[in-house]
């Protein structure tokens, strides 16, 4: 089993033991807002990975928002010196309502006292 899957399973099991990340604020720039609502439930840190646990609600398929599959790309970033610096980029499957976890950073100090922006948009065709 890949290590990242093991980490997610571990976080699902011990998520309540994780420490809160100290991001000032998390903002979603949701380009799929006509189809998907995202609400941050909590943030947590485990093994230096900062996570945003969210609740996803689909109003309609993201295909109706122009996506060619159920996959979306997310990019987390913070502003430093007037420039947005990318922290993480990933794919997330948006085919049903429920809880989803976004990896925001692999080092908690990168987001400490920073406003984190998460951009969500259609994944490009393969």
For 71, the token pair is: 């996959």
How far is the CA of 120 from the CAs of 2, 28, 59, 89, 96, in angstroms?
25, 7, 16, 10, 16
Asked whether 101 and 55 are in contact (CB, 8 A), the reply is no
What pLDDT digit, counting tens, does each position of 58-67 carry? 999 999 999 9
Q: Is the pLDDT of residue 7 over 50?
A: no
Q: Is the pLDDT of residue 10 over 80?
A: no
CATH topology of domain 3-122: Immunoglobulin-like (2.60.40)
Residue 12: its pLDDT value, please?
43
Residue 100: its pLDDT value, please?
96
β-partners of residue 44 are 51
What is the percentage of the chain residues whose pLDDT exceeds 70?
Answer: 81
Q: Is the pLDDT of residue 29 over 90?
A: yes
Residue 86: its pLDDT value, please?
97
């Amino acid at each position: 089993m890949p290590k990242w899957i093991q980490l997610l399973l571990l976080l699902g099991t011990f998520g309540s033991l994780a420490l809160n990340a100290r991001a000032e604020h998390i903002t979603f720039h949701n380009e799929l807002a006509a189809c998907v609502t995202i609400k941050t439930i909590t943030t947590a840190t485990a093994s230096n990975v900062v996570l945003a646990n969210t609740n996803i609600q689909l109003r309609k398929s993201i295909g109706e928002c122009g996506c060619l599959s159920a996959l979306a790309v997310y990019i987390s970033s913070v502003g430093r010196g007037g420039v947005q610096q990318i922290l993480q980029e990933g794919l997330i499957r948006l085919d049903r309502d429920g809880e989803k976890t976004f990896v925001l950073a692999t080092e908690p100090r990168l987001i400490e006292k920073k406003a984190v922006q998460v951009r969500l948009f259609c994944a490009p065709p393969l």
